[in-house]
Amino acid sequence: MDMKLELIPLAVSDIDTSKAFYADQVGFNVDHDVEPGNGARVVQLTPPGSSCSIAFGNGIGETSIARGLLLVVDDIEEARNELLSRNVEVGEVEDMGGVKFAWFSDPDGHSWGLQEIPVNISL
């Protein structure tokens, strides 16, 4: 039986601010920005190269704060520098025994990490 994680709902306080952060600053692709009716709006975005997306909007993930979401990258320094150039506040790279992390948060406090796992390390 396949079980695929393909969508993570996030609670946001302002849809436009969150869409701008993820699309313009972090570089996610905007898959959908729809208003299906009754004042509802749903925005779905996907990190480049990922098959898992995030979504937010009216009534989605109303109170939950996501912590420790990971974006796996080949080169953490390059990814960190790219985010810094887009005005995302990213912490310093931490080496945890060969696996490296750098953390940032979105405007609503959802915590994200860049993660680099070298090919010679088995987990």
CATH code, 73: 3.10.180.10
CA neighbor of 107 nearest in space, from 27, 8, 40, 18:
18
> DSSP string spanning 65-113?
----EEEE-S-HHHHHHHHHHTT---PPPEEETTEEEEEEE-TT--EEE
For residue 31, tell me if it sits in a domain: yes
Domain housing 65: 7-116
Instruction: Report pLDDT digits (tens) over 73-85.
Output: 999 999 999 999 9
pTM > 0.75: yes or no: yes
pLDDT confidence of residue 116? 96
For residue 2, tell me if it sits in a domain: no
- The number of distinct structural domains making up the chain is 1
- CA–CA gap between residue 99 and residue 109 (Å, rounded): 24
For residue 77, tell me if it sits in a domain: yes
68: left (phi over 0), alpha (psi -120 to 50) or beta: left
For residue 66, tell me if it sits in a domain: yes
For residue 105, tell me if it sits in a domain: yes
